[in-house]
Amino acid sequence: MLSAEADLANPASLALQPDLSVRSGGRTLRAVPGTLLRLVVALVYLFLLGPIAVIVATSFSSTHSMAFPPPGLSFRWYGEFLRSDNFTSAFRFSLELGISASIIGTFIGFFTAYAARRLMERRGGVVQSLAMLPLLIPHLLISISLLLALNFVSLPDFASLLAGHVLICTPFTVAGIIASLDGVDAQLETAAMTLGASRLTALIEVVVPLVAPGVLSAFLFAFVVSFGDVYIALFLAGPGTTTLPIEIFSYVQWESSPVIAAITSVQIMMIVVLGLVIEKLVGLRRIMRV
């Protein structure tokens, strides 16, 4: 199913490409969106970003009510968040889990992406499609299945949660790193090997430095995927291994208070920063090929 995205694997089709900007200015038919079209698009963006802006605004509310717009402004809910042990420890745990899962996911993603790219064309394509498998199986099922497996093989809570998170990160790291590898001239590697370097040396000394920005963004994106996950943790989180989204989920089921808005705002800001870093490094779109 990913063959449709093949053009994105090609860096020549990336955002902000010079060849596209040359075509703009009415020379292409598609480059002249009518006023109506622009209006529709603006409304869709309002729809996409509105609720997130509302959360951030609510987090500065001075009262306990969830009324919007808030009647007054304050930082009290951020203080409340920092004082709440449940939420701060869940936040810390999510950070730890996210970092561990994305480090492992990036390593596995790099090895897989490299092999997929250097194998023969057809087999490489198969590897790439198989790597997307965790995206096609509902995450809910992955989580339940891991919980079930724990009945037969005993594994620490953290390990099963980690395994689940590595699984859902890997499709993104594979896709992102394949996209970066496509941008590397394969002849450089061949040249190094002709000059006597082994494949491993060529890989470490020629390829790795060239794809480093892509690998770093894949890592950051994997972290974000892990940090935002609810489904894997839904069944695998337990006492002491509760992730932030699960803590929020169980809280919001019973009551609603601006403290949740403050927590999610912190998360939103963190993600916006990471997103900007990835955008700067390689462009978010290359990882979002799925």
Residues from 67 through 96 that contact other proteins (CB under 8 A): 67-69
Which string of b and e fits 134-170 if b means at least 16 CB within 10 Å? bbeeebeebbeebeeebeeeeeeebebbbbbbbbbbb
Q: Is 180 in the site for other proteins (CB under 8 A)?
A: no
DSSP assignments along 38-79, one per residue: HHHHHHHHHHHHHHHHHHHHHHTBSSSS--SS-SSB-SHHHH
Q: How far apart are CA 176 and CA 214, in angstroms?
A: 7
Give me the sign of the Cα torsion angle 137, 243, 146, 166: positive
Q: Is 194 in the site for other proteins (CB under 8 A)?
A: no
Question: Of 14 and 210, which CB lies nearer to other proteins in the complex structure?
Answer: 14
Q: Kindly state the smallest distance separating residue 143's Cβ from other proteins, in Å.
A: 9
Q: Which of 186, 47, 68, 218 is nearest to 119 (CA)?
A: 186
Q: How far apart are CA 182 and CA 207, in angstroms?
A: 11
Question: Of 68 and 75, which CB lies nearer to other proteins in the complex structure?
Answer: 68
Residue from 82, 83, 92, 145 in contact with other proteins (CB under 8 A): 145
Give me the sign of the Cα torsion angle 191, 192, 198, 204: negative
Q: How far apart are CA 131 and CA 177, in angstroms?
A: 12
Q: Is 115 in the site for other proteins (CB under 8 A)?
A: yes
Q: Kindly state the smallest distance separating residue 196's Cβ from other proteins, in Å.
A: 14
Residue from 218, 224, 236, 237 in contact with other proteins (CB under 8 A): 224
Q: Kindly state the smallest distance separating residue 185's Cβ from other proteins, in Å.
A: 18
Q: How far apart are CA 156 and CA 82, in angstroms?
A: 29
What DSSP designation does 10 have?
S
Residue from 62, 74, 103, 118 in contact with other proteins (CB under 8 A): 118
Span 230-249, contacts to other proteins by CB under 8 A: 230-231, 234-235, 245, 248-249
Q: Kindly state the smallest distance separating residue 52's Cβ from other proteins, in Å.
A: 6
Identify how many contiguous H helices and E strands the chain contains and give both numbers.
Answer: 15, 0
Interface stretch with other proteins, choices 83-91, 136-144, 179-187, 205-213 (CB under 8 A): 136-144
Span 8-47, contacts to other proteins by CB under 8 A: 8, 13, 15-17, 20-21, 23-24, 28-33, 37-38, 40-41, 44-45, 47
Question: Of 6 and 82, which CB lies nearer to other proteins in the complex structure?
Answer: 6
Q: Is 154 in the site for other proteins (CB under 8 A)?
A: no
Residue from 101, 142, 192, 215 in contact with other proteins (CB under 8 A): 142
Residue from 176, 207, 267, 282 in contact with other proteins (CB under 8 A): 267
Residues pairing with 247 in the sheet = none
